[in-house]
């Protein structure tokens, strides 16, 4: 049987750091409130000249280097993003051209903060089919572009960035299981309810969220889907070395780990210095812990995302 395995990770954060104090200078908020309610101390914000494909390019190059792969080795590119450079072509096609990976399949996945888990699960299935051997899977976002910078309830939460993995065909797993879920009846809880039509923006181009409902829903489904992914692999809670959750709010991370019965020392936390980078948050967190020597070869990872749609999912893998 063909398996798929993560062969290298990479990430990129734009250099500009925005601290909580920058918000409190012009909005009714404070560093203390933001830290206490979210755990966020700072986030990175992309320069106006940078699109998601530019961030994805830097993350992708780092992942290729870590995997010892060349752009021409890649036969599948999947970019998870809700902030693409254009309506079309896809960010994955733009990334392909920038990387110089010719002729391979390239497409975007739109599952908001679950996007990376969706993309990784899709790439795993493509590789297991035998038709693809080496995939570049990227989460890349410039959420700063879809925020109302005067809405204190949302603008303090998000940041920009990109993370990537190279997923290769392998004799041994690798990815043991993945579970993907969605429920479109909850679309109003978290959305950017606008579109472009006839040269005009119809609806709103800004992120809207019922924060406390999202919070409760996230903890509930992350617990359920994490257990499902482990059960599908014949594994239990004790078989998790690292819980790599979508980094939305440190209180969501803590509550989910507690509900799953996973001790805090196994919980990956980067939301404090990245903010919520949507589809980029899991591969960004993964790369940071790998490069710090904390996640090592052979460690078992439970990766889980939840976000707009609503969408959620989990991937259980040996690194
Ligand atoms: O990737 C998935 C995307 N989203 C998320 O994961 C977000 C999930 N939700 C959350 O992280 C939390 O719900 C928030 C951080 C958004 C809010 O925390 P909360 O503990 O759920 O607070 P709340 O929504 O119940 O609001 C409490 C109060 C409200 O004031 P009133 O109505 O009680 O007077 C808000 O207006 O906090 C107020 N508030 C703020 N105060 C100071 C909201 N944002 C701010 C702010 N500074 N930035």
Identify whether residues 152 and 17 lie together within a single domain: yes
Low-confidence ranges of the chain (pLDDT < 70): none
86 forms beta bridges with none
Identify whether residues 159 and 241 lie together within a single domain: no
Identify whether residues 249 and 314 lie together within a single domain: yes
Q: Nearest CA to 202 among 192, 212, 211?
A: 192
Q: Are 314 and 302 in contact (CB under 8 A)?
A: yes
| Per-residue model confidence (pLDDT) at position 163 | 98
Identify whether residues 160 and 39 lie together within a single domain: yes
Identify whether residues 149 and 33 lie together within a single domain: yes
Helix (H, G, I), strand (E, B) or coil at 100: coil
Q: Tens of pLDDT along 143-165?
A: 999 999 999 999 999 999 999 99
Identify whether residues 153 and 199 lie together within a single domain: no
Identify whether residues 164 and 243 lie together within a single domain: no
Identify whether residues 237 and 107 lie together within a single domain: no
CATH code (residue 228)? 3.40.47.10
User: And the tokens for 166?
Assistant: 């190279």
Give percent helix, percent strand, percent coil of the chain, each to the nearest 5: 40, 30, 30
| Per-residue model confidence (pLDDT) at position 19 | 98
Q: Nearest CA to 208 among 220, 222, 198, 193?
A: 193
In 145-260, which ranges are E strands? Answer: 160-170, 175-182, 190-191, 194-197, 200-203, 208-209, 242-245
pTM exceeding the 0.95 threshold for the entire prediction:
yes
Last residue in a domain, options 171, 199, 224: 171
Distances 191 to 47, 215, 309 between C-alpha atoms, Å? 24, 15, 8
Identify whether residues 209 and 235 lie together within a single domain: yes
| Per-residue model confidence (pLDDT) at position 230 | 98
Which of 249, 255, 279, 308, when mutated, tests ligand 1's pocket best, judged by the most ligand atoms within 8 Å of its CB? 249
Q: What is the Cα–Cα distance from 11 to 56, expressed in whole angstroms? A: 8
| Per-residue model confidence (pLDDT) at position 250 | 98
Number of domains in the chain: 2
Q: Is 247 in the pocket of ligand 1 (CB under 6 A)?
A: no
Identify whether residues 7 and 153 lie together within a single domain: yes
Range 117-130 burial, b when 16+ CB lie within 10 A, else e: bbbbbbbbebbbee
Q: Is 29 in the pocket of ligand 1 (CB under 6 A)?
A: yes
Q: What is the Cα–Cα distance from 284 to 246, expressed in whole angstroms? A: 10
Q: Is 207 in the pocket of ligand 1 (CB under 6 A)?
A: no
Q: Tens of pLDDT along 18-68?
A: 999 999 999 999 999 999 999 999 999 999 999 999 999 999 999 999 999
Question: What separation in Å is there between the alpha carbon of 67 and the centre of ligand 1?
Answer: 40
Last residue in a domain, options 171, 206, 223: 171
Identify whether residues 188 and 268 lie together within a single domain: yes
Q: Whose CA is nearest to atom 9 of ligand 1?
A: 211
Identify whether residues 126 and 44 lie together within a single domain: yes
Last residue in a domain, options 171, 199, 228: 171
The residue annotated as part of the active site, out of 113, 186, 249, 274, is 113
Range of the structural domain that residue 153 is part of: 3-171
Cβ neighbour number for residue 286 with a 10 Å cutoff: 27
Q: Whose CA is nearest to atom 27 of ligand 1?
A: 212
> What own/partner pairs with CB < 8 Å and gap ≥ 24 does 263-271 have?
266/240, 266/241, 266/242, 267/242, 267/243, 268/242, 268/243, 268/244, 268/295, 269/39, 271/38, 271/39, 271/40, 271/247
138 forms beta bridges with 79, 164
Q: Strands 17-19, 42-44: parallel, antiparallel or unpaired by DSSP?
A: antiparallel
């Amino acid at each position: 049987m063909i398996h798929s395995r993560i062969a290298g990770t990479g990430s990129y954060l734009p250099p500009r750091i925005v601290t909580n104090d920058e918000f409190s200078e012009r909005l009714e908020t404070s560093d203390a409130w933001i830290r206490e309610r979210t755990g966020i101390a700072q986030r990175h914000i992309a320069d106006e000249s940078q699109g998601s494909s530019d961030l994805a390019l830097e993350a992708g190059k780092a992942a290729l280097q870590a995997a010892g792969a060349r752009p021409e080795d890649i036969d599948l590119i999947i970019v998870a993003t809700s902030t693409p450079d254009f309506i079309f072509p896809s960010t994955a096609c733009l990334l392909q051209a920038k990387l110089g990976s010719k002729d391979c399949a390239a497409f975007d996945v739109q599952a908001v903060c679950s996007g990376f888990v969706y993309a990784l699960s899709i790439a795993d299935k493509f590789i297991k089919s035998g038709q693809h051997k080496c995939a570049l899977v990227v989460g890349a976002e410039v959420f700063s572009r879809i925020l109302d910078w005067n809405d204190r309830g949302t603008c303090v939460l998000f940041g920009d960035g990109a993370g990537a993995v190279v997923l290769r065909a392998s004799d041994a797993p690798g990815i043991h299981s993945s579970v993907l879920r969605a429920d479109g009846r909850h679309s109003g809880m978290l959305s950017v309810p606008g579109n472009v039509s006839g040269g005009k923006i119809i609806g709103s181009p800004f992120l809207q969220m019922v924060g406390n409902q999202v919070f409760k829903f996230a903890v509930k489904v992350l617990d359920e889907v994490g257990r499902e992914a482990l059960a599908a692999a014949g594994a239990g809670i004790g078989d998790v070395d690292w819980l790599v959750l979508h980094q939305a709010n440190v209180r969501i991370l803590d509550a989910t780990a507690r509900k799953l019965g996973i001790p805090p020392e196994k919980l990956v936390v980067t939301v404090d210095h990245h903010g919520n980078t949507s589809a980029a948050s899991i591969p960004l967190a993964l790369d940071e812990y790998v490069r710090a020597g904390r996640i090592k070869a052979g460690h078992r990872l439970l990766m889980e995302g939840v976000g707009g749609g609503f969408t959620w999912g989990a991937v259980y893998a040996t690194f």
